[in-house]
Every structure is written in structure tokens, then in C-alpha cells.
Amino acid sequence: MNMTLEELTNKLKKKKIRLSYQRIKILEYINNHRIHPTVDQIYNDLRKEVPTLSKTTVYNTLNTLADSNLVKVITIGDNEARYDVTIKNHGHFKCESCGIIFDFNIDFNSFKIDGLSNFQINQKDIYFKGLCPKCIKKDASE
């Protein structure tokens, strides 16, 4: 799961993204914190290590990485975007009580779809919402 600095820089080089300290740090953060963080989480955590970091740079970098498919933008919340390293396709479940976003496996090829012939599908997002096990228990004991 954790990638070396060299592996990360190679990822950027392959996509012809110029190397910068900030970009490497942000890509490193996304790889080491697979909790679908928000821009604010990334910014506030990284600021400790990179005090000069600007929030604009976090936005710019995440947009750059998303354009190159190195990160995936998750817009399951209504308000702020969350970010995920792009690994194999999976679904996202957001608990409406605690707000945590969980990954789940779903077979993207088994969908029985009707009405999209002659459409070119570039992206499939599966967003579920409800209650996570912990919050179900908490609710029951109130």
C-alpha cells in the first residue's frame, strides 16, 4: 500500500507532470491516508510539514492529479469533494450519521443496463448512503 518516494515521482513523470515538493507531498499524503480526505484535511495536516503550503496549491495539485487519473474525486457529499487514490473500481458508502465514507466491492461489469446504447461511458460512480454498523448500534442504545 505505502509507496516509496521513487515510485511516486515515477508516477508523476509518467504523466509528464513536473515534479515539485508540494506535488510529491500531496500525492504521498493521498497514498498514505486512504480515508477519502477533504481538501481541508490534506491542507491542515500537510501544513505541519510544509508550513508555506497554500490551499490554492492543494486545489491546483488535486485537479492536476485528477486530470491525469492519479487521484479520483468523490462527490458523494453534497458540499465538499473528497479524494481517493485511483486503484481498481469500487463503490462508496457514506454513513449519514458519522460521515465516514467506506469502500465496498461491486462488480462493475455485471450491471444490467438499458438505455445507453451508442453512449460512450468514461466513468461509473456508485454512491450508497445509509448507516454504518457502529452508528446502527449507537442509535439502538439511545
Task: Provide the grid cell at 120.
Answer: 460512450
The three cell numbers locating residue 74: 468523490
Give the Cα separation of 19 and 6 in Å (integer).
12
Residue list 9-68, contact with a copy of itself (CB under 8 A): none
The residue written with cell numbers 487519473 in the block is 69
Give me the least distance between CB of 36 and a copy of itself, in Å please: 15
125 is an interface residue for Mn ion by CB under 5 A: no
- CB burial of residue 97 (10 Å; 0-12, 13-18, 19+): middle
User: Rounded CA gap, 31 and 120, in Å?
Assistant: 30
Q: Residue 15, Cβ neighbours under 10 Å: how many?
A: 13
Quote the least distance from Cβ 123 to Mn ion, whole Å: 14
Alpha carbons 91 and 102: distance in angstroms, whole number: 8
Q: Of 97, 102, 106, 126, which lies in the binding site for Zn ion, with binding defined by CB under 5 A? A: 97
Residue 105 touches which of a copy of itself, DNA, Zn ion, none (Cβ within 5-8 Å per kind): a copy of itself
Least distance from C-beta 95 to Zn ion, angstroms? Answer: 3
- Which one of Mn ion, a copy of itself, Zn ion, none interacts with residue 85, CB within 5 to 8 A by kind? none
Q: What's the CA gap between 82 and 36, in Å, rounded? A: 5
Partner touching 126 among a copy of itself, Mn ion, Zn ion, none, CB below 5 to 8 Å by kind: a copy of itself
Among 6, 48, 115, 141, binds a copy of itself (CB under 8 A): 115
The residue ranges that bind Zn ion (CB under 5 A) are 95, 97-98, 132, 135
The residue ranges that bind a copy of itself (CB under 8 A) are 73, 75-76, 78, 81, 91, 93, 96, 102-107, 110-116, 118-133, 136
